[in-house]
Structure 1
């Protein structure tokens, strides 16, 4: 889990360090000075992810009310960030990290304003056979309608579903995939909005925020008017000819062209390759 604090021009304000190292160094300094240290309050983020998926997070901070944060250059800065990258293999597992609600390491007091998530899915064997989708949580200072957080840990669950969208690229029409992730409502129905939502600051300390991700069983075309579905699978429309990279169907659902699977096979129907 690595830490960054950014200035307005986007350059790191301090060298990258691990959060645990920062806490230990700070603790040592306080012990030497005869002071006691109170660790910042945190909440626990968890994500249940499918096989070959992982989640990284960026927690964004803003100056606390009445605070002015000044960089060594003398410029005021209004954004600080913590970056979380679980060091786990890309298999079916649960991603987990703790998110501090405050950041006081840089001469001013900052408070959490949001958590941005990057969902990475691997669809092929090569390192580049992957795609990213985003999710996010904002932190509200408005009081929650729920009772104030107690000593009993609370858990908020946000469900979402990801789907692979396929398309062809290049003159040889290789199959490539794009990841799309959307929120699920209480009935399990797909929503237009991305996964995540609003969190209330007065409910976060020592609580757990959890995202449960699933993957749709069926893939769909990334571009709707490029493919026609048959009982045997999807066929790629011919368009104006083999060299037409756009290849829109435009009413012609009888002429199709071959494409290549990621492993190089020449195919006429996706995903079964042959009819």
Structure 2
């Protein structure tokens, strides 16, 4: 895969007449994740015709590059080329979508995703573009939080991930993690996304769990076939639920009250 990127980068350098080595430090930047345990990432880099170009790519085919997709070997960091040439059209990096993946169990379905992004433009105001330190490193931040719910007649507990941007003042914003750079800022640089995990998990839907001293109890509703099972003021009748490892519990997250019977 890296050899393919190298040949693409070489063609891009020749087409754009820019001084760069073959997929070296001067025609790419490095993405580095700083994530909690059991978190991974995927990237999708999107390209548009370089500044001053009037060409187009038929059907847009080949204007995206994927990193750490399910059919690829996982890489701890990603080297993202800034330029490509597709169908004879010189392209420049326009955006990198970062898919943050949290894993809460061994199965393929035991994971949840949320997104961040890196925008790349030919020009940006100083107020809107990221900055690099003397070592050529830049960092943007986000906070992710787990929300839990139950699904199915046996009420398996699953979790949903939401990630928000942390601004320069350290406040959690409403938007997703995001930063922006100009193309001429990025050659040979390192961009890090630092994700922290909120201390508290919360129910995904309101009025479905009741807070108790040891955690949360799941309202019974009309029975195990009742998928929403809202409490509707009934804070006495609770159900068991199953963790992904098949433990049958009555309290989340501690699971301190195990039951032998199968719901």
TM-score (norm. length: structure 1): 0.76
- May I ask how many residue pairs the two structures share in their alignment? 242
Please state if 1:176 is matched with 2:162.
no
For the pair 1:81 / 2:81, whether they are aligned, the reply is no
The equivalent of 1:236 in structure 2 is 218
* Counterpart selection for 1:42 from 7, 28, 31: 28
Give 2:249's aligned residue.
267
Q: CA deviation at 1:51?
A: 1.5
| Deviations, residues 29-48 of structure 1 (Å, cap 9, x unaligned) | x9xxxxx9843621221111
Change in 2 beyond 3 A, CA 1:163/1:151: closer
CA distance in 1, matches of 2:192, 2:101: 17
Does 2:40 align with 1:54? yes
Residues in 2 aligned to 1:181 and 1:151: alpha-carbon distance in whole angstroms = 26
Structure 1 segments unaligned to the other structure (5+ residues):
1-17, 31-35, 90-94
Tell me the equivalent position of 1:15.
none
Partner of 1:222: 204
- Relative to structure 1, the CA distance from residue 145 to residue 100 in structure 2 (aligned partners, 3 Å threshold; closer, same or farther) is same
Residues in 2 aligned to 1:167 and 1:77: alpha-carbon distance in whole angstroms: 39
Contact persistence 1:60–1:79 (CA under 8 A): no
Distance 1:126 1:216 in 2: 23
The change in CA–CA distance for 1:38 and 1:274 in structure 2 (over 3 A counts) is: closer
Give the Å deviation of 1:202.
Answer: 3.2
Structure 2 spans left out of the alignment, 5+ residues: 14-18, 258-263
Q: Note if contact 2:9-2:84 (Cα within 8 Å) is conserved in structure 1.
A: no
Spell out, residue by residue over 1:239-261, the C-alpha distance to the aligned partner (whole angstroms, 9 max, x if none).
23343211112333232222222
Where 1:20 maps in the other structure, the secondary structure is helix
**Does the 8 A contact of 1:153 with 1:206 survive in 2?**
no
Partner Cα distance (1:263, 1:53) in 2: 19
Give the 4+ runs in structure 1 shifted more than 6 A.
25-28
Name whichever of 176-185 and 137-146 sits farther off: 137-146
- Change over 3 Å in CA distance of 1:105–1:151 after alignment to 2: farther
Alpha carbons of 1:108 and 1:204: their partners in 2 closer, same or farther (altered >3 Å)?
same
